[in-house]
Homo-oligomer: A and B are copies of this chain.
Amino acid sequence: MTKKKVEIVEIGPRDGFQNVPEFIPTELKLQAIDGIIRSGVKRVQITSFVNPKAIPQMKDAKEVATICLEKYPGINFFALVPNLCGAQVAVECGLKEISYVISVSETHNLKNVKRSHDESFSGLSEIIKLYPNIIINLDVATAFGCHYEGDIPIEKIMTFLKRGYDMGIRSFNICDTVGLAYPLLVKEVIENVLKEFPDCEFEIHIHDTRNMGIINSYTAIECGINKIQTSIAGLGGCPFAPGASGNTSTEDLVYMLNKMGYETEIDFEVLLKTAKLLKEKINGDFSGHHIFINKNNVCNQ
């Protein structure tokens, strides 16, 4: 039996780091990225090119991207950009791939990037025109629900994707932005998008807010998604909600997938060492579990 391949897409250096209030020294960021790559991860969301006044944590975005692109030529790096200006810097750094985020819930989009759908899609159109050779992943935010608009009907997601598709987008990242997904919903959404857009690439981006990070990610895999975004140590989410809001922990998912006979090509122990390093050095919110296990202290009954 050939093993089923799952590609782990590490987004800790963006979504994880971005939610840490205190600035993480560039050197520590690079050390973590190095550990992630040494574990076998081949695709990393390296940073986001945003206004450093809005998100000071990402003020070293250019430096991090430039160094990594030079040091690891075989790795598939990409970065989040909120607008044309961000895309420009990303391209200047040498990135060949970017993520651009629009929320299916227009209310959330207005809160998150201060734009209407028309404005966001128009911004995307500009980037496509200016950089026709750059791969653009469309981050489909709030795909599984929104605190402002509630449930998102499947038809609305389809119309949203079609709008991106018609502009030339062939790579989508289906995001559970506020952690409202559950397995049955993941199944419904993923089966529909895969069926409707068979010539596109899909990734999934899950938050562990309601303790379904692992099961939702796994459900997506079972439905046919083979690129899963996760964050090392489960870092991310909101520092005011400890243990609750990070992305699915990379090492926890990798541990399970390796046990289940999936081919992740990732060395769990190397990854865990890096996750533990971050837990030790960063004052953040960690939703990973393995980082808390102390082998000398097995006291469950």
Contact = CB atoms under 8 A, between A and B. Distances in A.
- The copy count of this chain in the complex is 2
Contact of A300 (B215, B238, B252): B238
A249 B210 CA distance: 11
A45 interface: no
A106 interface: no
A58 interface: no
A31 to B, nearest CB: 24
A18 B301 contact: yes
B259 A147 contact: no
Interface in A197-211: 207-211
A292 B210 CA distance: 9
A218 B183 contact: yes
Interface string A207-238: 11111111100100000000000000000111
A300 B178 contact: yes
A240 B279 CA distance: 15
Interface residues of A, number: 53
Given A256-B183, A298-B147, A292 B244 contact: yes
A51 B178 CA distance: 46
Contact of A179 (B178, B211, B244, B300): B300
Nearest to A246: B300
Nearest to A141: B301
Main SS of chain A's interface residues?
Answer: loop
A15 interface: yes
A299 interface: yes
A263 to B, nearest CB: 15
A289 B210 contact: yes
A215 B260 CA distance: 13
Given A255-B210, A301-B15, A293 B249 contact: no
Contact of A297 (B15, B213, B240): B240
Given A211-B249, A289-B208, A297 B241 contact: yes
A184 interface: yes
A243 B212 contact: no
5 contacts: A15-B301, A178-B298, A209-B300, A215-B218, A215-B256
**Among all A-B residue pairs, the 10 with the closest Cβ atoms:** A244-B292, A211-B289, A211-B252, A215-B215, A238-B299, A182-B259, A244-B289, A241-B292, A184-B260, A243-B243
